[in-house]
């Protein structure tokens, strides 16, 4: 039982490049989330998916898109990376909204 897994662990991009961050959970959870963590800011929600087939914007969605591929997988895409998107990205999942969220190990992204 791996919980929440994220790939890659670390990525360096140049400004304007695109990439997709992958997240998968094996806990049969319905809800999944993407957060970013910046120094002194705590974690802020980018997008969430309450259930398979639905996605909604969080606090800081600009510059990102998401896809809930199936119940297990929730990907985050940066279409044209900017230095302001340098951050640590965390995926989380929960059985449903308002229930405990379990976090993956994070992806460190550096945009030059």
List residues binding another protein (CB under 8 A). 4, 33, 40-45, 48, 50, 56, 58-59, 90, 92, 97-98, 100-106
Strand order in the sheet with 74-78: 4-7, 19-25, 74-78, 64-68
How near is the Cβ of 36 to another protein at its closest, in Å? 11
**How far apart are alpha carbons 79 and 67 in whole angstroms?**
13
Q: Which is nearer to another protein, 17 or 102 (CB)?
A: 102
The three-point CA angle 105-106-109 to 5° equals 155
Q: Which is nearer to another protein, 33 or 74 (CB)?
A: 33
Q: Which is nearer to another protein, 10 or 15 (CB)?
A: 10
């Amino acid at each position: 039982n791996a919980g929440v897994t994220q790939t890659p662990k670390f990525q360096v991009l140049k400004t304007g490049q695109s990439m997709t961050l992958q997240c998968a959970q094996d806990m049969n959870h319905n809800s999944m989330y993407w957060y970013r963590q910046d120094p002194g800011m705590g974690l802020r929600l980018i997008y969430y998916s309450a259930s398979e087939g639905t996605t909604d914007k969080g606090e800081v969605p600009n510059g990102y898109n998401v896809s809930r591929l199936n119940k297990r997988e929730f990907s985050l895409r940066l279409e044209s990376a900017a230095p302001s998107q340098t951050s640590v990205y965390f995926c989380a999942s929960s059985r449903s909204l308002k229930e405990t969220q379990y976090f993956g190990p994070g992806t460190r992204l550096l945009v030059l």
